[in-house]
Amino acid sequence: MAVYKRKYRSGKTVWCFTIDAPGSTRENRRQIMESGFPTKGAAENAEAERRITEQKRYQLENAGLPDVPLPKTLAELLKDFFSEYAERKLARKTIERYREQVAYLHPDLLAMRIPLITPLHLSKEWTRLLESGGHYRRSKAPRALSAKTVRNVAGVVSSAFARAIRWGLVTSNPVAQSEAPVPRRHSGIALTPSQQKLLIEAAPVAGAFRPFWSSQPPLAPVAANSWPSVGQIFRTGQC
């Protein structure tokens, strides 16, 4: 294992890792070392991330392409997601909506390294957004977000991680294992043929409402307040 423990003169114990850079040989060996990690798991995750980064850099150098910095944090990943994918493939309104949604994310989560983000981190973030993720416009006091909004935020983060997988930055999508809220579904109302007939006959002007299968165009629209509600029609009519 390239991960090992190290004790400073001050008595503090940290975890480190040392790896061989891609392309190293016995005659020309180049090693990469990082230290200061609080746990073995953190060192192993950082090692895996550094291996991927160095391998990508090595491949770009051999291909004769410029050295492009790879995203390390969630904020950097989202930035590349917008610049390299969303702005090239998606509609302007969709991009604006995506940017509004990721603005709800906590700065601490955005500052985390990509490989260190777990489903538990994301589940806690979804809970925070549900409880106090938004704010009132006038008082700026925190307010709860709807389950639909939080799920949309999770969808954008999931799309960014899906891009990261395609780009070789990570191997899995932690959003898929997180507990994103499920919006409450609203049940629709299907009208029976007799109820449809009552609705058509209740129009204040004859012919103002025409079913979609009618070949005749509807008359000029009438004021909405002159229409009885569907509930009034069914309470007074005979189905």
pLDDT-based confidence at residue 179 (cuts at 50, 70, 90)? very high
What's the confidence (pLDDT) of residue 70?
86
Query: Mean pLDDT, to the nearest integer, of 147-159?
Result: 95
pLDDT tens digits, one per residue of 110-131: 999 999 999 999 999 999 999 9
| CATH superfamily, domain at 74-177 | Tyrosine recombinase, N-terminal domain (1.10.150.130)
Give the least confident one: 65-79, 90-104, 124-138, 213-227. Answer: 213-227
Give the least confident one: 7-21, 76-90, 180-194. Answer: 180-194
pTM over 0.75: no
Query: Mean pLDDT, to the nearest integer, of 92-120?
Result: 93
Query: Mean pLDDT, to the nearest integer, of 99-112?
Result: 94
DSSP string over the chain: --EEEEE-TTS-EEEEEEEEPTT--SSS--EEEEEEESSHHHHHHHHHHHHHHHHHHHHHHHTT---PPPP-BHHHHHHHHIIIIIHHHS-HHHHHHHHHHHTTS-HHHHTSBGGG--HHHHHHHHHHHHHHSEE-TTT--EEPPPHHHHHHHHHHHHHHHHHHHHTTS-SS-HHHHS----PPPPPP-PPPHHHHHHHHHT-SSTTSS--TT-SSPP-----GGGSPPHHHHHHHS--
pLDDT-based confidence at residue 62 (cuts at 50, 70, 90)? confident
pLDDT-based confidence at residue 155 (cuts at 50, 70, 90)? very high
